[in-house]
Amino acid sequence: MSHVFPRQIHAPPPVATGGAGCYLFDAAGRRYFDGSGGAAVSCLGHGDPEIVAAVQDQASRLAYAHTGFFTSEPAEALADLLIAHAPGDLDRVYFVSGGSEAVEAALKLARQYHVERGAPERRHVIARRQSYHGNTLGALAAGGNAWRRAPFEPMLPAMRHVAPCYAYAEKPPGETDEAYGQRLAQELEDEILALGPESVIAFVAEPVVGATLGAVPAVPGYFRRIREICDRYGVLLILDEVMCGMGRTGHLFACEAEGVAPDILCIAKGLGAGYQPVGAMLCSRAIYDTLAAGSGAFQHGHTYIGHPVACAAGLAVMRAVLERGLLAQVQARGALLRELLQDRFGAHPHIGDIRGRGLFLGLEFVADRETRTPFARAEAVAPRLKAAAFEAGLICYPMQGTRDGQSGDHVLLAPPFIMQPAEAEELADRLARAI
């Protein structure tokens, strides 16, 4: 009898006992191909000796020192490395334990920044429909799936949601990508104007939408237009790269491909690569300086922020990504996996789109390829695929989208960056079996 509270109360999962490279093992001796790195977490695979050694070494030297009193060497070194590679003028790093905490911190920092610069009337945050930004109350309120929020209503009242970026099944046939992107961005400007430009704190978005839509990059020009709109009205741009950041798309930060830099950037998952729970919020010098000149403190914090062992893991992972040439490898293996998926599923009557960047790929399921009609909710593929894939020894990340009657029935693939070409074939074969 297990006393662990499982995610699915009536279907407790098998006991995971080990991992090596792209594979996980359970107590019954079964082997699974980790085709999604859990939830886009295990970018270096399992059992990487260098990361394990870095964690062990830090734990033996200094496991914990409260950030109310100390900083630590690994936290300082990781912050330096992140800032050396960060886009725009991101200048300070606030370490947390995961993605929701990073988003929560971003929302609170954005609010406090406006208060301290003398604009306390700014109180609305705008995010996108069909988005996911985490499960803590603030991050959940920002997320754009009504069914996730429903059990916890009323949520924070000042959240608004505008159109998501490109989803295959929702782009009208005949409209160019560019025109579509401009039209979606225009919704943000209209919402800001409707609320009153002086009342908006920030706009939050994922550069490449992960869990809710399945590796959907924005259409070209969308984010540049978003950046212009935010600048015009003094609205902070918060980019959530919890899933798509840290090399997953073949760029260290996904926003590099869009040619924009945010005011606040959230990362997690691939930062600790599963070896430690660690996330971070990076903010611009202007935001930091405003607090430094004002109250002198960010009114936020958790006991485990800046944890030395977590930061040591993040540092070792980030060095590995940069020094082992893994960004180029993500691009090459991503292109290969995409080709393999295209070969197997390019003409499948119920696969409407194969998309993504780097090793962050999604397949969208549709009832009808021609009309792009999604499956009815009761017939959605994702929930059935999850079970079939697990049976076929494959861990992938199927999601039914919004459950709000819109599109988003898909499977997300996010295998480890170290995946070999033969393993990419194995992943595609196992997925084909499951589908």
Nearest residue (beta carbon) to ligand PMP: 99
Q: Which is nearer to ligand PMP, 279 or 416 (CB)?
A: 279
What is the smallest separation between the CB atom of 423 and ligand PMP, expressed in angstroms?
Answer: 24
Q: Which is nearer to ligand PMP, 167 or 428 (CB)?
A: 167
Helix (H) / strand (E) element for 382: namely: helix 381-391
Q: Which is nearer to ligand PMP, 240 or 409 (CB)?
A: 240
Count of CB atoms situated within 10 Å of the CB of 318? 22
What is the C-alpha separation between 394 and 417, in angstroms, rounded? Answer: 17
β-pairing, 360-365 with 410-413? Answer: antiparallel
DSSP for 288-322 reads HHHHHHTTSS-S---TTTT-HHHHHHHHHHHHHHH
Q: Which is nearer to ligand PMP, 167 or 242 (CB)?
A: 242
The edge-to-edge listing of strands for the beta sheet with 397-399 is 351-357, 360-365, 410-413, 397-399
Residues 6+ apart with CB under 8 A from 325: none
Q: What would the two tokens of residue 121 be?
A: 């009337």
What is the smallest separation between the CB atom of 142 and ligand PMP, expressed in angstroms?
Answer: 9
What is the smallest separation between the CB atom of 242 and ligand PMP, expressed in angstroms?
Answer: 4
Q: Which is nearer to ligand PMP, 134 or 247 (CB)?
A: 134
What is the smallest separation between the CB atom of 250 and ligand PMP, expressed in angstroms?
Answer: 18
What is the smallest separation between the CB atom of 410 and ligand PMP, expressed in angstroms?
Answer: 14
CB-based contacts of 69-72 (< 8 A; 24+ apart in sequence) = 71/306, 72/306, 72/308, 72/311
What is the smallest separation between the CB atom of 156 and ligand PMP, expressed in angstroms?
Answer: 16
What is the smallest separation between the CB atom of 133 and ligand PMP, expressed in angstroms?
Answer: 5
Residues 6+ apart with CB under 8 A from 244: 40, 206, 207, 208, 210, 254, 357, 360
Q: Which is nearer to ligand PMP, 105 or 428 (CB)?
A: 105
Q: Which is nearer to ligand PMP, 39 or 388 (CB)?
A: 39
Residue 400: CA atoms inside 13 Å, Cβ hemisphere, count? 16
Label residues 384-393 b or e (16+ Cβ within 10 Å = b): ebbebbbebb
Contact 3, 10 (CB under 8 A): no
Label residues 174-211 b or e (16+ Cβ within 10 Å = b): eeeeeebbebbbebbbebbeebeeebbbbbbbbbbbbb
Chain residues binding ligand PMP by CB under 6 A are 39, 98-100, 103, 132-134, 206, 210-211, 240, 242-243, 268
Q: Which of 286, 279, 295, 424 is nearest to 361 (CA)?
A: 424
Q: Which is nearer to ligand PMP, 99 or 415 (CB)?
A: 99
What is the smallest separation between the CB atom of 311 and ligand PMP, expressed in angstroms?
Answer: 16
Q: Which is nearer to ligand PMP, 134 or 164 (CB)?
A: 134
What is the smallest separation between the CB atom of 40 and ligand PMP, expressed in angstroms?
Answer: 7
Contact 178, 187 (CB under 8 A): no
